Chain A
Amino acid sequence: MESFNRRRFLATTGGGLAGILATRIPPARGQQREISYLCWNNFAPNSDKKLAEIGQRFTRDTGIKLRIDHVSHMGPQQAKYAAEVQTQAGHDLVEMRMHFPWLYEPQLVDVSDVVGELEKKYGKALGSSYEGAHVNGVWRAVPQYHGMFVATYREDLFKQAGLKVPDTWEDLYVVGKELKKMGHPVGIPISQNYDSISTAGPVLWSFGGMEVDKDGKMVRINAPATAQMIEWYRKMFRDCMEPEVLSWSDASNNESIQQGKAGWIHNPVSAYIVAKQRKLVTADGINHHRSLAGPHGRHETDTPRHIGIWKFSKNVEASKEWIRYLLGKREVYDEYIMSGDAFNLPTYEKLQDHPVLRTDPKYAALRGEGVQYHTYGWPAPPSDKVQLITNTYLLPNMIAKAVTGTSTKDAMAWAETEMKKILAG
């Protein structure tokens, strides 16, 4: 074999470099497009595996290299996003939840073109996704999927005790009393977590109340509707629940029903999915029904997710290509949704009766749902102020104060003062 001496090496590399400089075209490797995508650890782990698989196919089909990173959604996610924005460096795409597109509005690329294409194909994005990602007339993130809050209950216990499946929050109080007597209390967290808000919001709306008005300017929490809602919580806490709900985390109500304690919880279908995957004895007895109504109708909430592209990304077009590949190709989007086992549901109108809902009869309650769902803080338009009201857990804290001894009037006055301070700030 011919030896590769220093002189030959210099001649080859020098010649090559001169050639590149002369043509003024970077070498192929330098032209390879590469994007990075930061998303959360999905509650349905198979969904993350599928995403990685789709990512590999995307690279093969388009030549765009994709790196997918995951981060836990409670805590590290927001710190990571804040750090990326402050340093103007990091990932190209990020998965967003709640009102993130509003918080990071000036930092996000306008993706109205991509959403327009998706809506043309799949119908309008659902209300909750619109509320979360459509910021001041511009789509700042692309609606990806959502997870609905429905009622998860122990159908076997209900049948055993001859209990009627509730349709209203008042019905729940009636069956809740019986469930507690049976040693299977209702599990609604009243603590500093998002599940607490996900129930408190719909209950408040169903009683005709709101935190802030639809203009986002006036605090409306101190109202007769709120008092009614608090009274409902007070009697639920006393007669249907255990004091442990005051310290629950987002996972506690799931764990409670999976372990066989709770008889009814308000949650997306993740409790059932996990029970089924882990082959827990409670899995067979669990079923779902739609979220409950109050004197002012049925109002529900969910957890919409979106994909945003940072403005500091050097690969905006390649990033859009990835979104189009994942969400815009029906067969790929279906494949992705199916992997989430009905936890991640399509967030476009024409896809509401998705095949994933027919994979298990216990997803029947989800069919046709989602259209009327809202994000936290509704009817106020999302903003950093509404986000702070949410993040400081004023709604569940107001309820927690009331159920632990503070008068309804004082609890409402406390929440009103805190909310007014935030709106004024």
Chain B
Amino acid sequence: MAVRANEITVPRGRPGAAARVRQWLDGESVLGPVFVTPALLLLLLLVAYPFVMAVYFAMSNAFIGRPSHWVGLRNFIALWDSDIFRQTFQNAFVFTGISVAFKVVLGITLALLLNEQLWFKRMIRGAVLLPWVIPTALSTLGWWWMFNSLYSVVNWTGIAMGLMDPPGPNWLGQKYYAMAAVITVNVWRGLPFFAITILAGLVSIPRELYEAAEADGAGANARFWHVTLPLLKPVLAVVVLFSTIFTFSDFNIVYVLTRGGPITSTHLFATLSRVVGIDTGRIGEGAAISLYLFPLLVFVVWAQLRFVRKQVY
């Protein structure tokens, strides 16, 4: 129905106070901050406050339930005197480096497989996510049972298949085997994240590029190296970035499987930090351990994100 012009009432004179407030609130300069404030408050409360507290603790001699004093970088410097900490530092790099490398290679392989025309494709894709869906502590308990020295399923299977000599490796009692065990569980746990994210990247690659490459005579290998991999780079960079951070800060797997043993050969920053900060009450030192790699990780994040930005076409 059409509205005639003379039916519209036009307000005369200055608008009322309520209308003026409404008008003021509608302005972008006011409305914007109003909408952003709750999110900002949440960030401050849940992210910034704990982080600032952690930094403060790391630079103090805080002890559970006692007054603390500022000690600057003393905790960070003193840590380096400890053989256990230096071993932990080394473990963290070995654990993260090997785990992420395996996850990249296996993740790409799995994603390529999942991208093929498979029977029960959806079911298989769903099943691949299982290790990621089960709570880590629970699934790691299963692995602990499989690696257990008294009734290792892994050894039993290996011996039954003739792959191992009885009694088989002492998985959690020898340092290299123990590291292999925690890396295996980490790769198993993190693989779905890689595979599904890379699969999302693969799906987004236009089919025409493959058809053009095929028309130019490119084989499967050449198509992978010259089409798939370059176009996956941004996705890979993000996945590797996330995984590196998560793997460096891993706690559950080591805590359940080895508690950092044997002889501290699998301790990571998080597990050692727990022992010192919580079990012993030395929060300052514990916080310093957990924040030790923070500057390095900030640099890694910065470099990776810079790389990703450059890759955007």
Q: Give the interface of A toward B (CB within 8 A).
A: 75, 78-79, 82, 85-86, 103-104, 106-107, 191-193, 242-248, 252, 255-256, 259, 261, 384, 387-388, 391-393, 397, 400-401, 404, 414, 417-418, 421, 425
B84 within 8 A of A: yes
Looking at B107-115, B213-221, B260-268, B304-312, the stretch in contact with chain A turns out to be B260-268
**Interchain CB contact under 8 A, A397 and B263:** yes
Which residues from chain A contact B178 at a C-beta distance below 8 Å? 247
A261 to B282, CA, bound (A): 40
Which residues from chain B contact A192 at a C-beta distance below 8 Å? 258-262, 264
Partner of B149 from A86, A248, A393 at Cβ < 8 Å? A248
The dominant DSSP class at the B interface is: loop
Which residues from chain B contact A397 at a C-beta distance below 8 Å? 261, 263-264
**Interchain CB contact under 8 A, B261 and A393:** yes
B117 within 8 A of A: no
Instruction: List 8 tightest A-B contacts by C-beta distance, closest first.
Output: A247-B173, A244-B149, A246-B173, A247-B172, A192-B261, A85-B65, A107-B65, A388-B280
For B249-273 the 0/1 string (1 means CB < 8 A from A) is 0000001001111111000000000
Which residues from chain B contact A392 at a C-beta distance below 8 Å? 84, 264, 275-276
Count of chain B residues with a beta carbon within 8 Å of a chain A beta carbon: 36
**Interchain CB contact under 8 A, B150 and A256:** yes
For B63-94 the 0/1 string (1 means CB < 8 A from A) is 11110000000000010011110000000000
**Interchain CB contact under 8 A, A86 and B64:** yes
**Interchain CB contact under 8 A, B84 and A418:** yes
Which residues from chain B contact A79 at a C-beta distance below 8 Å? 274, 278
Which residues from chain B contact A252 at a C-beta distance below 8 Å? 149-150
Tell me, rounded to whole Å, the shortest Cβ–Cβ distance linking B288 to chain A.
11
Q: How many A-B residue pairs have CB under 8 A?
A: 106
A401 to B265, CA, bound (A): 11
Closest B-chain residue to A415, C-beta based?
Answer: B83
Which residues from chain A contact B279 at a C-beta distance below 8 Å? 78, 387, 391
- Contacts A75-B255, A78-B278, A387-B280 given: A247-B149 contact, CB under 8 Å? yes
Partner of B173 from A191, A256, A387 at Cβ < 8 Å? A191
**Interchain CB contact under 8 A, A418 and B83:** yes
**Interchain CB contact under 8 A, B83 and A103:** no
**Interchain CB contact under 8 A, B78 and A425:** yes
Partner of A243 from B65, B81, B173, B261 at Cβ < 8 Å? B173
**Interchain CB contact under 8 A, A247 and B171:** yes
A86 to B262, CA, bound (A): 32
B281 within 8 A of A: yes
14 intermolecular pairs with C-beta atoms under 8 Å apart: A75-B255, A82-B64, A82-B283, A86-B64, A86-B65, A244-B149, A247-B173, A247-B174, A248-B149, A256-B150, A384-B63, A388-B282, A392-B84, A414-B83
